[in-house]
């Protein structure tokens, strides 16, 4: 197997899909507290999909009782999804990686996007996808109950070379919500085999390290249009391997202060409040205990980010 070929050149983290204890309760929380609108719902999958216009969903909230969940599935991340430029790029990367022996779990036609799914070296599921329509809201809204059509990359259809991802979309605000999330920006994972995971996301998925190396305590990797999309941390006492947090950009620091003032009345505790030169960042937990990070960038540059110690970085990148 070729050891250094990146198959994809992702633009950014497009969404995360979370297994939640109850998808209707989770939607209420992600609407009332996090500040996302529901774009569409799939009752047959027991899932709600939320966004404010950044893309066709920033988060999937999939019930642990969904047919996609394993028996006794606990709340956790199901997959993280990276957006690539075009379907043609997706299919070429997929085919090259298959030729090199990479194995995929499945492929999917989501109407708005075509996707391939594989596992990283520690079993976290990664989706790589390309939007296949520009007006995604025409195919993803309201209640959707339908079987997904089969999609065989490069066979079912001639892969499109169009760039269909949203460019500068208008972002809505859920005014009455505690936080005013603009969009998902990042996911952080704690990993046992840091070097192997670093190399997988750099050399196979195609993210670019902007802070850290395979030997450092933590690393931050970017897509080509990204914002610090993906962080890796070594395990430490109290941290189990797997997702550590999912992060969202909010409007500005005054808006973040407004959010903080509303938390006590909701009975929500701040788990960590980081004020670093690179970023202001507040973390809370959702009803299932998943850690959510809300941030406003300050001097968000690799040189300033790299001044964070690992404990700060754990709650700020
Ligand atoms: Fe997905």
- 152 falls within a domain: no
pLDDT band at 1 (very low <50, low <70, confident <90, very high): very low
Mean pLDDT of the chain: 96
Q: What is the pLDDT of residue 92?
A: 98
Condensed to tens digits (0 to 9), the pLDDT of residues 251-265 reads 999 999 999 999 999
The verdict on 203 and 294 lying in the same domain is: yes
Residues measured by CB to lie within 5 Å of ligand 1, the ion: 17, 81, 127
Q: How far, in Å, from the CA of 78 to the mean position of ligand 1?
A: 9
Domain boundary among 143, 172, 200: 143
For residue 211, give Cα distances in angstroms to 124, 146, 241, 302. Answer: 22, 43, 20, 6
What lies within 8 Å, CB to CB, of 302 at 6+ separation is: 210, 211, 220
Spatial separation of the C-alpha atoms in residues 148 and 160, rounded to whole Å: 19
What average pLDDT does this structure show over 61-89? 97
The verdict on 123 and 202 lying in the same domain is: no
Q: How far, in Å, from the CA of 29 to the mean position of ligand 1?
A: 20
The verdict on 127 and 249 lying in the same domain is: no
pLDDT band at 3 (very low <50, low <70, confident <90, very high): low
Q: How far, in Å, from the CA of 274 to the mean position of ligand 1?
A: 30
Neighbours of 45 (CB within 10 A): 19
- 164 falls within a domain: no
Q: How far, in Å, from the CA of 42 to the mean position of ligand 1?
A: 13
**What percent of the chain has a predicted confidence (pLDDT) above 70?**
99
Condensed to tens digits (0 to 9), the pLDDT of residues 167-180 reads 999 999 999 999 99
**CATH number of the CATH domain containing 275:** 3.10.180.10
Reading the block at residue 222, the tokens are 């970017």
Q: How far, in Å, from the CA of 212 to the mean position of ligand 1?
A: 27
Q: How far, in Å, from the CA of 185 to the mean position of ligand 1?
A: 15
Condensed to tens digits (0 to 9), the pLDDT of residues 145-155 reads 988 889 999 99
The verdict on 190 and 290 lying in the same domain is: yes
Spatial separation of the C-alpha atoms in residues 230 and 202, rounded to whole Å: 11
The verdict on 20 and 131 lying in the same domain is: yes
- 163 falls within a domain: no
The verdict on 186 and 285 lying in the same domain is: yes
The verdict on 135 and 201 lying in the same domain is: no
The verdict on 210 and 269 lying in the same domain is: yes
* Strands 106-109 vs 142-143: parallel, antiparallel or unpaired: unpaired
Closest CA to 146 of 108, 118, 105: 108
**What percent of the chain has a predicted confidence (pLDDT) above 90?**
93
- 4 falls within a domain: no
| Domain ranges, residue 95 | 12-143
Condensed to tens digits (0 to 9), the pLDDT of residues 45-67 reads 999 999 999 999 999 999 999 99
Q: How far, in Å, from the CA of 116 to the mean position of ligand 1?
A: 9
Q: How far, in Å, from the CA of 215 to the mean position of ligand 1?
A: 30
Number of domains, the chain: 2
Q: What is the pLDDT of residue 95?
A: 97
Domain boundary among 124, 143, 162: 143
Q: ∠104-105-108 over CA atoms, to 5°?
A: 95
- 172 falls within a domain: no
The verdict on 308 and 194 lying in the same domain is: yes
- 132 falls within a domain: yes
Q: How far, in Å, from the CA of 131 to the mean position of ligand 1?
A: 12
The verdict on 112 and 201 lying in the same domain is: no
Q: What is the pLDDT of residue 2?
A: 46
- 293 falls within a domain: yes
Element (H, E) at 275: strand 272-275
Domain boundary among 91, 121, 143: 143
Closest CA to 224 of 165, 305, 153, 183: 165
Q: How far, in Å, from the CA of 254 to the mean position of ligand 1?
A: 32
The verdict on 59 and 129 lying in the same domain is: yes
- 169 falls within a domain: no
Helix H segments across 33-123? 87-99
The verdict on 43 and 115 lying in the same domain is: yes
Q: How far, in Å, from the CA of 260 to the mean position of ligand 1?
A: 30
Q: How far, in Å, from the CA of 26 to the mean position of ligand 1?
A: 17
């Amino acid at each position: 197997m070729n050891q250094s070929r990146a198959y994809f050149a992702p633009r950014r983290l497009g969404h995360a899909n979370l297994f939640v204890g109850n998808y209707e309760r989770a939607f209420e929380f992600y609407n009332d507290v996090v500040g996302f609108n529901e774009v569409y719902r799939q009752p047959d999958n027991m899932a709600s999909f939320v966004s404010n216009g950044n893309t066709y969903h920033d988060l999937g909230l999939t019930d642990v009782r969904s047919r996609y969940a394993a028996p006794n599935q606990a709340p956790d991340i199901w997959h993280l999804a990276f957006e690539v430029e075009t379907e043609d790029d997706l299919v070429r990367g997929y085919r090259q990686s298959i030729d090199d022996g990479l194995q995929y779990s499945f492929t999917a036609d989501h109407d708005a996007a075509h996707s391939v799914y594989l596992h990283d070296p520690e079993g976290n599921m990664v989706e790589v996808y390309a939007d296949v329509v520009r007006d995604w809201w025409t195919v993803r809204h309201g209640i959707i109950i339908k079987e997904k059509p089969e999609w065989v990359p490069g066979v079912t259809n001639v892969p499109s070379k169009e760039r269909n991802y949203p460019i500068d979309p208008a972002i809505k605000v859920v005014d009455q919500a505690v936080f005013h999330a603009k969009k998902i920006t990042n996911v952080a994972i704690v990993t046992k085999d840091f070097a192997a995971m670093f190399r997988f996301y750099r050399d196979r998925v195609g993210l670019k390290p902007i802070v850290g190396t395979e030997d450092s305590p933590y690393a931050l990797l970017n897509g080509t249009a990204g914002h610090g999309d993906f962080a890796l941390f070594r395990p430490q006492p109290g941290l189990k391997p797997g997702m550590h947090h999912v992060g969202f950009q909010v409007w500005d620091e005054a808006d973040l202060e407004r959010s903080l003032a509303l938390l006590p009345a909701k009975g929500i505790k701040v788990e960590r409040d980081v004020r670093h030169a690179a970023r202001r960042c507040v973390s809370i937990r959702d009803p299932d205990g998943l850690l959510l990070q809300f941030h406003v960038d300050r001097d968000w540059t690799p040189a300033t980010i790299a001044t964070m110690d690992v404990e700060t970085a754990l709650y700020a990148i």
